[in-house]
Structure 1
């Protein structure tokens, strides 16, 4: 995009309307996801396994609802081999797990291994609404940039809109890649609504031209990578939180504790993937994005030299970007060399994300420096 002095008020107004429209559709998607989580207690995995056994002349014994019980059935396969189906029930409507002779495992849960017909329909509607919201959201970002003929992330309002867009896009890309992460839809939509809510109320600024220091091609490079990293770090953060909750639930279940928010009666935790799944997902996302965050800092230093004559001056934004880099480096190092897994690693990951969050909101709003482009 080329710089221009004029601002197109009609495009700027259209941008605002598209962002607000996207928020409305995101809200509808949130309610649809909540319906999926509420009515998703009976899994389609159990239905499929029973139908498969029945079609081959086998029946699966009913699990005792008052005590944990496992039933294993071996059925003949079409190619002459055998398949082992295992059904586990835990005190009432327990989690249903189906394993095959190859050791594969599927867990019941929102968008994981399937759910009830009503909940599955709600989940599909939620995803469709999220796609529509993303289209409106993207239109709002594009028209914002067109209204001033520049890249649309010159202040915190614009950056927040782009950051929320990146979170949603990353989630939908995972779904398109056939990953079983529909359970991520609810926390993603909640975070997007929170981010856009803060952007449109606290951080909003009228469409205007950039300050001279931002007139650089590095705006597209440096800020774009920072936006992508923020969206990925948030996804890892959600996975870490869910790991901590699921891990506590699994421990209480193993100990026979059935009361409290993490007891075996908490059906939502039963329907989520295993704790180890969240732990691995968080680590993989952080490990994948860390090199890009490193590049973001390096690109920022190159831009600083072009704008201010020095690569590094320990400006508050530079300092906290480096602190965030060190925090994530410590987390990855602990996982790779010290063998840290589970809660200790999760706490490090949460601390690293807290540094990133403060670097974005805290430094931009409450600390004065050369990167004070919040516009508020």
Structure 2
């Protein structure tokens, strides 16, 4: 089918705008990280306000008026500081960027009348979208909003590289990828790899925080503003637990597709080999994390190695090595 050039152009504009919005969000988050209170303290203040609201019901009417509480016993929360408002603006920009990001992905598919994962540009678009969505979910559950700049940095770098050096003009997919397995296998691989970026960054920050806890001289300016090592470990573990079975499913589907397309389930192609190595690393992380003697720094180090293997598989294997998975779409 012919490509809809108008929708393709809208997709490119949405993609570029997304990068700009993410960069602006990073600036807001960096301001909050540099000048604001730690996210843990902000969460503690919220809990204190809630407890104060519960206990205000026993106060007298006069005391309620003096303290700013109403007759119902609820208390008026203190005004947010300027830095907190900046952090919330950064979160709002991230949500806006995610919406534009999704629009760019959908418009690309509509423009080409196919599933938009036929080349490296589209694949990176999908991976980074999954990463941002996963981070927004974790940000809503844990006091890690002020760390968003660290998470958005690899997203912006990947999108910049994808939109410049790896950009591919919208076109029909090549015959080798015209299969329903493209939707199943590549989607699972993209979701798993995208979520794996979150525990990778969280584990790096965990190592920084734990090094500071052992020796306050190390990372004296950055580490005190990070959440506790327990929070970072929890974020890394929970996201890995979710991503690992999805990534496993993607590998299994790839083996089934390989048997249908090439007549064998596994051939130690470079892409297959590195994906298997990454799978083994993350399996070792989950095993070590579940074993009391390997929690903490050792487990986080394994997760960082898995993160490095994922990035290596994304770029080096697709762009440098030659194999049956060489579908980068880069001339």
The counterpart of 1:282, out of the listed 213, 218, 236, is: 236
Of residues 96, 114, 117, the one that matches 1:153 is 117
| C-alpha displacement of 1:49 | 9.2
**How has the CA–CA distance of structure 1 residues 219 and 33 changed in structure 2, closer, same or farther, with 3 Å as cutoff?**
same
Measured in 2, the distance between the counterparts of 1:246 and 1:167 equals 22
**Structure 1, unaligned runs of 5 or more:** 56-76, 81-113
Secondary structure of the structure 1 residue equivalent to 2:24: helix
1:328-347 equivalences in 2 (<5 Å): 328-337=282-291, 339-347=293-301
Measured at CA, do residues 146 and 47 of structure 1 come closer, stay the same or move farther in structure 2, by a change above 3 Å? closer
User: CA separation in 1, counterparts of 2:90 and 2:211?
Assistant: 29
State the match for 2:36 in structure 1.
40
* Matching of residues 151-190 of structure 1 within 5 Å: 151-176=115-140, 178-190=141-153
Secondary structure of 1:339's match?
A: helix
- The structural deviation recorded for 1:284 is 2.5
Asked whether 1:357 is paired with 2:311, we answer yes
The alpha-carbon distance between structure 1 residues 220 and 52, as it changes in their structure 2 partners (threshold 3 A), is closer
Comparing 159-168 with 179-188, greater Cα deviation is found at: 179-188
Q: Normalised by the size of structure 1, how large is the TM-score?
A: 0.75
Aligned CA-pair RMSD: 2.7
Distance 1:329 1:50 in 2: 40
Residue 25 in structure 1 maps to residue 21 in structure 2: yes
Q: Write out aligned runs for 1:85-234 (5 A).
A: 117-176=81-140, 178-234=141-197
Q: Distance in 2 between matches of 1:148 and 1:50?
A: 53
Q: Where is the strand percentage greater, Structure 1 or Structure 2?
A: 1
Q: Contact 2:143–2:227 at 8 Å: present in 1 too?
A: no
Where in structure 1 do 4 or more consecutive aligned residues deviate above 3 Å?
41-53, 77-80
Deviations 1:136-156 (A, max 9, x none): 111111111111100111100
Aligned residue pairs total 309
Which residues of structure 2 form unaligned runs of 5+?
Answer: 59-77
Q: Whose RCO is larger (CA < 8 A, sep 6+)?
A: 2
Shift in alpha-carbon separation, 1:78–1:315, aligned structure 2, 3 A: same
- The DSSP-based 3-state class of the residue aligned with 1:219 is helix
Q: State which of 212, 225, 241 in structure 1 corresponds to 2:204.
A: 241
Pick the structure with more helix per residue. Answer: 2
Query: Which of these two proteins has the greater Rg computed from alpha carbons?
Result: 1
Q: Does 1:307 align with 2:303?
A: no
In structure 2, do the counterparts of structure 1 residues 118 and 216 end up closer, same or farther at CA, with 3 Å as the change threshold? same
Alignment partners' CA distance in 2, 1:140 and 1:51: 41
Distance across 2 between alignment mates of 1:210 and 1:51: 55
Is the Cα–Cα contact under 8 Å of residues 138 and 235 in structure 2 kept in the other structure? no
In structure 1, the residue matched to 2:69 is none
Q: TM (normalized to structure 2)?
A: 0.85
Question: CA distance change for structure 1 residues 128 and 7 in 2, over 3 Å: closer, same or farther?
Answer: same
Indicate conservation of the 8 Å contact 1:243/1:278, yes or no. yes
Are the aligned partners of 2:193 and 2:247 in contact in 1 as well (CA < 8 Å)? no
Partner of 1:262: 219
**1:11-53 superposed Cα distances (whole Å, 9 cap, x missing partner):** 1111111111111111111111111112204855787799999
Query: C-alpha separation between the residues in 2 aligned to 1:127 and 1:48?
Result: 18
